[in-house]
Chain A
């Protein structure tokens, strides 16, 4: 198939990136753990979509299809399944009251979006497909950090970490037209899988020891 109109592809990529941003903001205010996991799956789906469009537009970038496939299988199905199973095993499906309430969190994330745009501004003039999504990638990074700090459930912190990884992957896809070498992508992907398993194991042990996933209870070590 001949590659589609680059303008069209760019529009779709921009739309999907904006979608990822909106999903991230929804995660910041959403309190049900299972819904958050599904939102993460949705965000990863959009990321896979962006990868597919980029692979489609460049005839020489067939390994990006592999990246899209990995993201689809791993981040959209396997990881959310693992995490949901963990949530159900622990039976704690609600988040506790976060540090900042929903409205203030939203406003702060709006400020982060602006900051992300300012950081990415000098690099958006490069003529590359999807280069205008760098701002979204930096925003995902910042809002991921905020999510980690704002919430007190251990599993939500794991999710926040995963969204930060999504942001990094988006930056990789946005900045490096052909994506990174396949061996690196594979390595990163497997690292992520193992990381989630290790984190899941730790969460389980924390739950057993502290009878709660509340991370603010982990405060004995000081000085």
Chain B
């Protein structure tokens, strides 16, 4: 019995269990336990994937985990665990401040594991249709999570998110249908071809190129909307800033990457079928576009969480461009970046959550300087994570960005790489500037932090610690899994 099915069942069961539980403590415990278990199960998958046949399948190839899937599963479980660790105190304080009702908190504890289970299903499903279904399930559960607060801005954000997301998914379904239609042309006498990705990859050379091209365009726009690629990114700043901080962390930390994963599966199929650089060019263009769109918004941002959301947009653009540059080094760098970003962004959102609950505002000029005095530990984590996010050494994001850039220059895409560098520099300046506005100095407004100073710090410290550790030392299995995944994306079977 492989760990595949338990990885899916455990969070789903935890979510349904929380429907029956009554105390918040119990629900919090259920969530944390479930995610700890899934993290262990994902780690257990590692050795299975690193030896021949390099793939773990279950249920007659319905579920399939290769190196890329396992990498994503690790990220999902890590971020989910961090979020659920942070969520406990966060919601306790919100309940005390009457910002949410107990019913809504219960909604959070029910929907978050279901959200996670959906994401796991996306990365572990072999069937393209099931992948789509799982993405839609994550979209729907996260919409309700975004709308937990009953503010008018939350509802607006949730509405934009659901409409744009559903539209995007409808387009992606169209593209998926096209892909299946291309396969059905080549059906053998044995009946219907399977909708499995692995099966499609094996017959990639025989698929009709025109259909595959059109399919990829639809899938790019569709899954690209869910991944937050510009120009379909309008929902991103709203949804990520209006959601409660644990959800924002999960949204920015993994759900964007899971949507990109789905897109990358199609990218691999398209490249194998067409043999040309059609999909790579498109990915590069959209990635660069996202980074260029994000840069000005970061520089002139006035809302803390929106700033972090635009930073996510920029990082996703970098990952997408890294995959689009299509040299082994850049793809490896993109995967590395995925991992480090997944560990960094949640910490930023947790810190922002703490600041929001203390200052009751997210406007940077109203938060004012001096957060380091008011919330010392939070400010420390914010500062460190901020430095990580802009790409300062010794944090891992520096190494991953350097990898992508050097790979870009080495493979000859000089113009694109220069543009990448410019965007990275712009966001570097923007984020550091905004952080210096709120962290150092004397607090203008006298604020008493009515929260215990250790609120949320364990979660932040854990993730920062993991980030630091993995920045300087990548254990061999992780390294090998990433190399394998890069090889899969680059086209090797």
Contact = CB atoms under 8 A, between A and B. Distances in A.
A126 B181 CA distance: 11
Interface string B117-134: 000000000010110110
Contacts of A60: 191
A136 B241 CA distance: 39
Interface string A32-72: 00000000000000000000000000001000000000000
Dominant SS among interface residues on chain A:
helix
Contacts, number: 129
Contacts of B159: 154, 202, 206, 215, 218
B301 A161 contact: no
A219 B140 CA distance: 22
Contacts of A209: 150, 152, 155
A195 B166 CA distance: 8
Interface stretch (A6-14, A15-23, A100-108, A179-187): A179-187
A206 B155 contact: yes
B133 A188 contact: yes
B167 A164 contact: yes
Nearest to B135: A191
Contact of B306 (A145, A168, A202, A223): A223
B156 interface: yes
A145 B167 contact: yes
Interface in B170-194: 170-171, 173-174, 177-178, 180-181, 184-185, 191-192, 194
Size category of the A interface is 35 or more
Contacts of B303: 223
A163 B160 CA distance: 18
B153 interface: yes
Size category of the B interface is 35 or more
Contacts of B184: 175-178
Interface string B211-252: 100100000000000000000000001100110000000000
A141 interface: yes
Nearest to B180: A176
Contact of A181 (B129, B158, B162, B238): B129
Interface of A: 60, 119, 122-123, 126, 141, 145, 148, 154, 157, 161, 164-165, 167-168, 171-172, 175-178, 180-181, 183-184, 187-188, 191, 194-195, 198-199, 201-202, 205-206, 209-210, 215, 218-221, 223
22 contacts: A60-B191, A123-B211, A157-B163, A168-B174, A175-B180, A177-B184, A178-B192, A180-B180, A181-B194, A184-B133, A188-B133, A188-B173, A191-B133, A198-B140, A201-B144, A202-B147, A202-B158, A205-B150, A205-B155, A206-B155, A210-B152, A218-B160
Given A178-B184, A188-B173, A202-B159, 10 more contacts: A141-B170, A164-B167, A175-B180, A176-B177, A191-B133, A194-B137, A218-B159, A220-B153, A221-B242, A223-B297
